[in-house]
Amino acid sequence: SLSLLAEVEGGELLLHALLVLGRAALAQRDSTAALETLGRAARALEAPALRGLETSEASGLRSRWSSWGELAQDLTALRLAEAGPDAARRAAVTAEGFREAARWKGRALLQGIAEYRSGARTPEAVRIRRQRAEALARRDRILERILEATREGREPGGIGAMKAEARSLLAKAGDLGKRLEEISPPDSALDLPRGVDGEHLAALLGPGTLLVEYAEGSSRLYAYAVGRGDCSFHDLGDRAAIEAQAAIHVARLSRPRPLATVEEILDSGQALFDALLAPFLERARGARLILVPAGPLAGLPFEALVAGTARPPRTWADLEFVLDRWDVAYAPSSGFVAASAAPRPGEGKALLLADPIYPAEGGEAEGPSGPETPAFLARGAARAVPEEAGLGRVERTREEALSLARLLLAPEEEDLHEEVGRLASRRSASLTGRRFELHLGGRASLDRLAGDLRPYSILHLAAHGFVDPQSPQRTGIALSFRAGEDGYLAIGDVLELVLEADLAVLSACETGRGEWRAGEGVQSLASAFLYAGARAVVASLWQVDDAVAAETMEAFYRGFLERGLPWDQALRESKLAVRRSAGPMGTARGFGSTGKASQASRAEEAGHPFFWAPFIFVGRSR
């Protein structure tokens, strides 16, 4: 049986046996045995048969065996303890542990980036991938028949011929893999990432930038801090306790009624700062931070952690948040940071969709329909807007989009300024300038996302958003509806888009939230847009206040269009402006939300992180 399992290379019985042995070796603090066992498991998990799996199949396998990633981090901690003060040995162990941390995050996302980047997905590469997948699938079916017969204690007929065919198919897949590597190295290398070298990543980050990748152990939470010429490992403490504290803090930040008090935010925010950032931030004052969260930390806005306070704190101005000290960007994995370095080829336009018409208004979308209608419109039942969604108009999204259009007008387009002003009173309208294409009301429909979207460098969607953690496929953004179509852009629909965008701005509720899947990260709209080809995404973590969202977005665009700020810094500046302001509130952009986001006035609640903390920047900044 062991011989047969070894031949299968990745059969789940073999992986289970190695997992048990690896845990036992770590419990006995036998790093040599644990290293050998984990190495054998890694080779099994990276076997050619697994590299041929479809994305959904590979994702399921990585989820089931994500414990290997946790054991690899526990082993790193054990080996560092054994290394003592030996600097060279500690550096080697840390570098290997960092590569393992990256190996267990975001396979599907990295694969999508490899396929959709310009020049990476050629017809020849697609053909070879398909042939290779077919060969490996046939081999897997043969091996499964052999394994099933062995489990039942019977010998299948012609076992010798079946094994010979399996070996032949494996050889064929190997030859195709070599060919794929020759014609499309990114497609081949990212099919199953081997991890990222800390020194290579540090060179990409540039001076003044610190990347922190969080990694889960079996019961501990770890972190790697990567800067210029340095990669350090940190044991942050009990994983369950930190995750529980994070859940409490997020609940306090995102609760609109009643808004959490200064004392509540200080209590959980300072404890999390001390646990998650303080161990390595003393040398990072004034630096940019790129954070790669793990597990439940993916829904935590680190900018809303409390880095300092006046005693006793009475107002929000008395608290010093991470936002006040550092520019913060997020990434789904360190591998994503390394893979997304290539800029967009050429200049593009901005596509702006805002203020959709929903059924309660009685109107309909006015966009084009016909042969160019996206294929996902035919799957209305699978994508239907959830019944609990109360879709009321979100009027501030129109003001937001018009402000952006004015900012994008070229100097020679003075005649369009008056036209932009007239759009404020027209329920459905479109306007095209040299640097933008704007669609409002009934024209802000799914049709606008049909076909080739690669000419657009910026995609801005301002509408209702909804997240369903129990059924992630229902998570989406609601655009204008048409008779027989619900206008709902779900995660699966986003994956079918053809993008080459530098930036996707999802100005809606909860677009950065989703189900956490071990080995893959958060299944959110933000992740889906990254997969589809966006290099960076601005998304939200909870229901955003309508008026504040419009204020944040206008300041964000002014930051990089007029002042030339990097995107993450522009978002930070816009959030700081909200934190210091006391303007009027609007409605929330989440389904089922009506009335004010809070009964308190903004004058009384100025600076509350509920208003400024939900928007986050995910990706590489420019």
Residue 200 has pLDDT above 70, yes or no: yes
CA–CA gap between residue 441 and residue 481 (Å, rounded): 10
CA–CA gap between residue 420 and residue 406 (Å, rounded): 7
DSSP conformation letters of 555-605: HHHHHHHTS---HHHHHHHHHHHHHT-------BSBTT--S-S-SS-HHHH
Residue 511 has pLDDT above 50, yes or no: yes
pLDDT tens-digit series, residues 132-166:
778 877 887 787 777 677 666 666 567 778 888 88
Write b or e for each residue in 155-188: b if 16 or more Cβ atoms lie within 10 A of its Cβ, otherwise e.
Answer: eeeeeeebeeebeebbebbeebbebbeeebebbb
Extract the tokens encoding 142.
Answer: 């043969």
Residue 387 has pLDDT above 80, yes or no: no
Do residues 587 and 596 make contact, with C-beta atoms less than 8 angstroms apart? yes
DSSP conformation letters of 99-138: HHHHHTS-HHHHHHHHHHSTTT--HHHHHHHHHHHHHHHH
Question: Any idea how long the chain is?
Answer: 622
CA–CA gap between residue 263 and residue 267 (Å, rounded): 6
Proportion of the chain above pLDDT 90, given as a percent: 31
- The letter for the amino acid at 203 is A
CA dihedral (334, 336, 341, 347) positive or negative: negative
CA–CA gap between residue 351 and residue 460 (Å, rounded): 6
pLDDT band at 114 (very low <50, low <70, confident <90, very high): very low
- Give the residue with greater pLDDT, 130 vs 170: 170
Whole-angstrom CA distances from 9 to 20, 33, 173 are 17, 20, 15
pTM of the model: 0.78
Extract the tokens encoding 615.
Answer: 């928007």
Q: Share the mean pLDDT of the chain.
A: 78
Residue 383 has pLDDT above 50, yes or no: no
Do residues 211 and 222 make contact, with C-beta atoms less than 8 angstroms apart? no
pLDDT number for residue 29:
93
CB atoms within 10 A of CB 197: 16
- The letter for the amino acid at 619 is G
In this predicted structure, which of 166-175, 401-410, 612-621 has the lowest mean pLDDT? Answer: 166-175
- The letter for the amino acid at 289 is L
CA 167 to chain CA centroid, Å, is 38
The answer to whether the bond into 368 is cis (omega within 30° of 0) is no
CA 156 to chain CA centroid, Å, is 46
What angle, 0 to 180 degrees and rounded to 10, lies between the N-to-C axes of helices 67-83 and 31-45?
150
Do residues 221 and 238 make contact, with C-beta atoms less than 8 angstroms apart? yes
297 class by beta-carbon count within 10 Å (0-12 exposed, 13-18 middle, 19+ buried)? buried
Do residues 497 and 448 make contact, with C-beta atoms less than 8 angstroms apart? no
Question: Looking at the DSSP assignment, which residues form a beta bridge with residue 135?
Answer: none
Locate all alpha helices (DSSP H) within 220-261, ordered by sequence: 239-254
Q: With the CA atoms of 218, 219, 225 and 226 taken in that order, what torsion angle do they form, in degrees rounded to the nearest 10?
A: 0
CA–CA gap between residue 556 and residue 254 (Å, rounded): 21
Do residues 509 and 589 make contact, with C-beta atoms less than 8 angstroms apart? yes
Helices and strands (H and E) in the chain: how many: 26, 19
pLDDT band at 359 (very low <50, low <70, confident <90, very high): confident
In this predicted structure, which of 58-67, 339-348, 376-385, 579-588 has the lowest mean pLDDT? Answer: 376-385
In this predicted structure, which of 25-39, 152-166, 423-437, 552-566 has the lowest mean pLDDT? Answer: 152-166
Residue 588 has pLDDT above 80, yes or no: no
Extract the tokens encoding 156.
Answer: 């299948």
Residue 192 has pLDDT above 60, yes or no: no
pLDDT tens-digit series, residues 236-272:
999 999 999 999 999 999 988 889 999 999 999 999 9
Whole-angstrom CA distances from 604 to 42, 265, 309, 584, 610 are 56, 16, 20, 11, 13
pLDDT band at 372 (very low <50, low <70, confident <90, very high): very low
pLDDT tens-digit series, residues 283-308:
665 578 999 998 889 889 999 999 99
Do residues 12 and 49 make contact, with C-beta atoms less than 8 angstroms apart? no
Residue 425 has pLDDT above 90, yes or no: no
CA–CA gap between residue 326 and residue 303 (Å, rounded): 8
pLDDT band at 477 (very low <50, low <70, confident <90, very high): confident
535 class by beta-carbon count within 10 Å (0-12 exposed, 13-18 middle, 19+ buried)? buried
Residue 65 has pLDDT above 70, yes or no: no
pLDDT number for residue 564:
92
pLDDT number for residue 206:
76
CA–CA gap between residue 120 and residue 188 (Å, rounded): 10
3-state secondary structure at position 464: strand
